[in-house]
Amino acid sequence: MLKIISSSFIVSLALATAVAASPPGPIRPLAPKAMLSYTNGSDVVSGPAIVQADMIAALKSVEAHGLNPADYHLDALTNYGTDGDMAIYAVDAWMSAASHIAFGKLSPKSVEPDWTAKGREANLSAHLREALANGTLVSSLDRLAPQHMAYQSLTTELAGRLAGTVDDLPVVPSGVTLKSGMTGPRVTLLQTRLDLEATGTFDEETVAAVKTFQTANDLDDDGAVGPATLRVLNRNRTHELDQLRVNLERWRWLPDDLGQKHVRVNIADFSVQAWQNGQIDRVHGAIVGKTYRKTPIFSDVIEYVVINPWWETPYSLASRDKLPLFKRDPSAVQRLGFQVLDQAGTPVDATTIDWTSIPAGTMPYRLRQSPGPVNALGQVKIMFPNVHNVYLHDTPDRGLFAQRQRAFSSGCIRTQNPLELTAWLLSDKDGWDRARIDQAVESKRETRVDLVTKTPVHVLYMTAVSDAAGVRFLDDIYERDTAILTGLNRKANSR
């Protein structure tokens, strides 16, 4: 995924060996305007001079992107070195930092095995040459960063928080869910955390404050402090700095162009966004995979939609979910509109099957659910064929969208008001306006409609997002932030 177009900075074997072996010596401080020479081309020649102070300033700028300047020979470049030895350190440090800002410090597949988005491309050597020639070394790394508005908003938020003070609010220990009428030291800490009078009693004022906090953080506003609310409540400055750093890294993995018209799913935000010309046209609520049936993170293209779809029940769901249901209630097969077929595709009379005789976790039959009001896919499915068998679709359980935390599916993305999203996707297809879509729904017949132009879809997992209200920190429902943070905190290897 990562592409560094060929480097033209070649160093002599002597200098390369010196870097690999040990820090340079004898050492001496460099003056603020000291010049470092480097090699260019296939021979060891003198190129444009690198001003040491400018290189140091450039490397320090990576902190604004959530990276650690100390990972890039900063101490050696700041305090020690000879003109010859330090040249290779300067180029090595810049190239490493440039690679991490342009493409990400981590390979996305190292933490997200399903990752398929095409990465960014940049000619780092040419970029450095240009910066040296134009005297713009100080800002050279900033210019390699993603230009997505979301990335810029996160860096702005990071800068503000880096300039802030340490948060010393007390942590509320884990325990039973705190509710109205309860008393005790945990309630006292909760009230302190919410900037309330610490009475130690979970009174009406505390309930109101908890509900306000929950609403602001996209939590179910029940006024009780359970595990999800407690996890968000106990965030401090360090946690939010880390969350910003993690999500900046995720943006560095994405291409600069997500598509002039594209669909963007954010699992952690339970949302589906329809984008066109750099603007959000529509936002839909989403229901995503349960924590033990996680929705994968990947990119693909939407090819077609199916109105009034049959549901070809995946084997995993047929064996894990439907078989236990049919064992308890054999009449559910007909009531829910399922068709049973053998392995050759021949229909089987479900009333002749002894479901209790089928071993748990298996399913010798193929199940299909007919279109209708109880069909698991609802009125439409939006297809981007992929190895995960994941797609966007309607649902008969629309009341679930009233909840703020919506990890209820088996991996697919149930979408609120999907017919409106379908109309948006088909807006350039003659004869398929919203009225025609509604007619197709009323026909109760399965109808496939191909898109005129395949539309990119990106199924992402972002736990810090920006919108009109500013940056929001989301619950890490799949606990995926930790692995990225660990990688970011690991000292970078030199190039």
Annotated catalytic residue, options 65, 100, 262, 393: 393
pLDDT for residue 342 is more than 80: yes
pLDDT in tens, 173-187: 999 999 999 999 999
pTM, entire model: 0.82
* Catalytic residue (one of 73, 127, 412, 458): 412
Catalytic, 262? Answer no
Q: Residue 165: what pLDDT? A: 62
Contact present, 261 and 458 (Cβ < 8 Å): no
> Residue 407 has which token pair?
């990890």
Contact 329, 306 (CB under 8 A): no
Which two tokens mark 259? 């598509």
Supply the pLDDT for residue 11. Answer: 33
| Beta-bridge mates of residue 447 | 307
Is the pLDDT assigned to residue 311 strictly greater than 70? yes
Lowest mean pLDDT among 21-30, 70-79, 361-370: 21-30
Scan for tokens 């997505």, then name that residue.
Answer: 148
Quote the tokens at residue 335: 């009531």
Q: Is the per-residue pLDDT at 76 higher than 70? A: yes
- Whether residue 320 is predicted with pLDDT greater than 80 in this model: the reply is yes
Number of H helices, E strands in the chain: 16, 19
CB-based contacts of 281, cutoff 8 Å, min separation 6 = 274, 275, 424
Q: Please give the full DSSP string across 130-142, using - where no structure is assigned.
A: HHHHHT--TTTTG
The verdict on whether 393 is a catalytic residue reads yes
Kindly report, residue by residue over 104-150, the tens digit of the pLDDT: 999 999 999 889 888 999 999 999 999 988 999 999 999 999 999 99
**Residue 37: per-residue pLDDT:** 43
pLDDT of residue 50: 65
Q: Is 20 exposed, middle or buried (0-12, 13-18, 19+ CB in 10 A)?
A: exposed
